[in-house]
Amino acid sequence: MPADLWRFAEEYYQRPGVEAACLRLQARGADVCLLICAIWLGCRGVACSAARSGQLQAIAQPWQRLVVERLRQVRRDWRDDAQGDEALAALREQVKRLELQAERVQLQRLAVASHDWPAVDGQTLDAWLGALAPAGVSADDEALRQLRSAARQT
């Protein structure tokens, strides 16, 4: 498994069912970058704590709100109009690339913050997902089960 969070995210997102599960959770308020970081930490066996999850949320939330979500909204707002306008479609693709680049920056920041956290014995994936899943999403949610299942395919 790649030690680099960005490479892990790219590989993990390609696993069957992950993209759909992430998009369902995103529609319910999840920060997908934060969830993928949770999975990465869980797969690495890093112990979850309230302090650590709080630190990651403090890093992720402002960037997600001020950068990623704004780019995503512009891209979504242009979806229908871009179908009939080649110039707008090209600009929309540029915004999409910027959105992906912003997510990469967020993942890099999360990786830097958690770089020195050591692995421990025991299962930590469920703890991380529980700590970083959006409020109101239960541990037995179908989308979270899909993410767990894909994480165990290492």
Asked if the model's pLDDT at residue 134 lies above 70, the reply is yes
- The residues, ordered by sequence, that sit 6+ positions from 74 with a Cβ below 8 Å of its Cβ are 95
**Domain hosting residue 17, numbered range:** 5-151
Confidence of residue 121 (pLDDT cuts 50, 70, 90): confident
Q: Which two tokens mark 122?
A: 């025991």
pTM strictly above 0.85: yes
Asked if the model's pLDDT at residue 43 lies above 50, the reply is yes
Confidence of residue 1 (pLDDT cuts 50, 70, 90): very low
Q: DSSP character for 118?
A: P
Q: DSSP character for 115?
A: T
Q: Are 24 and 146 in contact (CB under 8 A)?
A: no
- Tally of domains within the chain: 1
